[in-house]
Chains A and B, each alone.
Chain A
Amino acid sequence: GEDVEQSLFLSVREGDSSVINCTYTDSSSTYLYWYKQEPGAGLQLLTYIFSNMDMKQDQRLTVLLNKKDKHLSLRIADTQTGDSAIYFCAENPLDGGFKTIFGAGTRLFVKA
C-alpha cells in the first residue's frame, strides 16, 4: 500500500543543521517532495527531487534520496528561527495519477 512515514518532532538550536527523515513505500514514485507549512497557513512546496537523482541542493536545503531503502531526507543548514514550521514529505506514485501521498509532517522547533 501507499504510506509515507516521518517522525513527528525535531528540535534544534539556531545555527545548527536540521535533518528531517522520511520513508516511503511506492518505488514507482516519479517525484518526491518536501512541503513546508507555517502556522495558520497552507502548505507550500519547498523543494522536490526527481526519482533518478540521488541529491539535490538548493541554497541551505539539501535533499538526499536513497531509492534502495526508499528513504528521503531534508537537511537545512544554518537553521534559523524562521525555519520553525511543519515539514511534509510526499510522493507521487506512478499509478496514482495526480494523487500525492503526504506524510504526517515533522514539526521543527528552532531554539534561539
Chain B
Amino acid sequence: GAGVSQSPSNKVTEKGKDVELRCDPISGHTALYWYRQSLGQGLEFLIYFQGNSAPDKSGLPSDRFSAERTGGSVSTLTIQRTQQEDSAVYLCASSLPWGPYNEQFFGPGTRLTVL
C-alpha cells in the first residue's frame, strides 16, 4: 500500500486479556514508531525501531507493554493483562532514516477499549 496501515482499527477487550496491535510501515522506511494518544493527553511516545539497532523502549509505560519488529518491516505492539487505563488510540508511524527533516508518516491508529 501507499501509506502506513494498522490493524485492527478498533479493538474491544476485557480487563486482564492480552492484545496485539499490528503496524505495516511504508516500504523502505527503516524507522518505525509507536505512540499512544489518550483523550486530553496528547501524543505519548512508546517505542522506536531503527533498522537493526536495538529499539528505544524508553517510553513503554510498564513491563506489560512490549513490541517487536520482524524482518525490519511489520511491527506488533503487545499489551499483556490489559487495564482500563490502557484504553487509547495507538498510532504507528514510519520514516526514512536520513530524510532532510525526518517527516513521520502516520497510520490511522487502533482504538483500544478495555472494559
Contact = CB atoms under 8 A, between A and B. Distances in A.
Name B's interface SS. strand
A103 B102 contact: no
A88 B41 CA distance: 12
Interface residues on B, range: 20 to 34
Given A98-B50, A99-B48, A105-B43, A42 B103 contact: no
A50 B102 CA distance: 12
A109 interface: no
A10 interface: no
Contacts of B93: 42-43
Interface residues on A, range: 20 to 34
Interface in B49-105: 50, 56, 91, 93, 95, 97, 101-104
B40 interface: yes
A24 interface: no
A97 B56 contact: yes
B45 A99 contact: yes
7 contacts: A31-B101, A42-B93, A43-B106, A88-B42, A98-B97, A99-B48, A104-B43
Interface of A: 8, 31, 33, 40-45, 48, 50, 88, 92, 97-105
